[in-house]
Amino acid sequence: MLVILWDPDTLLHKTVELLGSNLIPALESPERLEAILKALHNSEYRAGTRPLSSLWEGPKSRLLELTSETHGHEYLRHLRNVYEEWLSAGLIEQDGHVLPECFVFPTSTGKPLRPPRDLFARAGYYAFDMSSGIMSESYRAMIASANLACEGTDMLCGFDDRPNDIDTVVALCRPPGHHCDGQRAGGYCYINNAALAVSTWRSHQSDAQIGILDIDFHHGNGTQEIFYADAKVLYVSIHGEDEFPYYTGVEDETGSGEGKGMNINLPLKVGSPIEEYLEKLDYGLKKLVEFKTEFLIVSLGFDTFHADPLGHFQVHTEDYETIARTTRQALKEVPALVLLEGGYVIEHIGANMLSFLKGWKSA
């Protein structure tokens, strides 16, 4: 059985970004999720689409504990408080947006990195780009998004006395997560939802073999970083070569220490035909099967769509059906958590999700 989770609180985050040299409403918008929900509600998946809103009295301590396994305490404190701090200091008006200015850079001093004292400057210590604005409701949305990954994982693991007829949970997360390395925000990501899913699964089964298939158009630098030395997490990513986030995603990044060989980057030239995309997918899936993946996390981005403003692949609506079917056929019956990452064509994102679900269910 396949369940789709979302949380109305995730719709509250609505910020700005610097794209090119223009300050614009962030392309990672509530309308993306609304379009997906609209498509689901008019489909056979209506009954399986469940709103979660269990956070009314604040996030559960379990969620925060699991999140702090990979996210620095000071970083999380920043995410929680920075909007109010900037407001009190007069750095923004009510309903304004926190956007960083000066970022951390490498030095030869050997000094440990430390956050600047200046409140305005500090935002740049906890971010790596200018597509990670923070407004009044952002923290609430981030926590709600992360909670979907956590609750979704719990539904799948069947170790408690839960009915475990659920084999797939699709978590309609926003903000997304794969660019966040646990210490800084960037690329619309603040909390790494995939990493939280790993921590959640491990709270039930500590030695599990966990596979992450990242099929967002962009390289998941954050997920790669968090699991780079981890022998029990295999990270496989297919992404646009030389594209955002620019500094990661090359094939020679294969993992370190115990995790050597456990990081597989499959960059693809922009404009490549779908056949080449599917070849990379087959290769990645073969590795995930050989690894004996016991829990599969799919970081799913619809910015691979041919018309996406931030992606430049040749993937069409019907191809998501093939991608999903191929993935599920390779890893049949493995409990799977599908996390929404990017995808910025509002008019097609709903149809693309339906196509993906059709392929997944028909595997």
Task: Give the span between the Cα atoms of 84 and 309, in whole angstroms.
Answer: 32
Residue 335 or 342 having the CB closest to Zn ion: 342
Partner in contact with 131, chosen from ligand OKP, Zn ion, none, beta carbon below 5 to 8 Å by kind: ligand OKP
Residues that bind Zn ion (CB under 5 A): 216-218, 301, 303, 342
Asked if the peptide bond before residue 100 counts as cis, ω within 30 degrees of 0, the response is no
Residue 154 or 303 having the CB closest to ligand OKP: 303
Asked if the peptide bond before residue 309 counts as cis, ω within 30 degrees of 0, the response is no
Partner in contact with 244, chosen from ligand OKP, Zn ion, none, beta carbon below 5 to 8 Å by kind: ligand OKP
Closest Cα partner for 193 from 299, 301, 54? 299
- Please state the closest distance from residue 164 (CB atom) to Zn ion, in A: 32
Among 181, 303, 319, 321, binds ligand OKP (CB under 6 A): 303
- Please state the closest distance from residue 174 (CB atom) to ligand OKP, in A: 11
Dump the DSSP string for 20-70.
TTEEEE-SS-HHHHHHHHHHHHTSTTGGGEEE--TTTT---HHHHHHHTTT
Does residue 133 belong to the site contacting ligand OKP (CB under 6 A)?
no
Residue 18 or 87 having the CB closest to ligand OKP: 18
Task: Give the span between the Cα atoms of 158 and 218, in whole angstroms.
Answer: 32
Among 342, 349, 352, 356, binds ligand OKP (CB under 6 A): 342
Q: Is 194 exposed, middle or buried (0-12, 13-18, 19+ CB in 10 A)?
A: buried
179 is catalytic: yes
- Please state the closest distance from residue 29 (CB atom) to Zn ion, in A: 14
CA dihedral 194→33→10→221, nearest 10 degrees, is 30
Task: Give the span between the Cα atoms of 148 and 7, in whole angstroms.
Answer: 7
Residue 154 or 181 having the CB closest to ligand OKP: 181
Contacts of residue 73, Cβ cutoff 8 Å, sequence gap at least 6:
none
Does residue 244 belong to the site contacting ligand OKP (CB under 6 A)?
yes
Residue 259 or 342 having the CB closest to ligand OKP: 342
Query: Which residues make up the interface to ligand OKP (CB under 6 A)?
Result: 131, 176, 179, 187-188, 216, 218, 244, 301, 303, 310, 341-342
Task: Please identify every residue annotated as catalytic.
Answer: 179
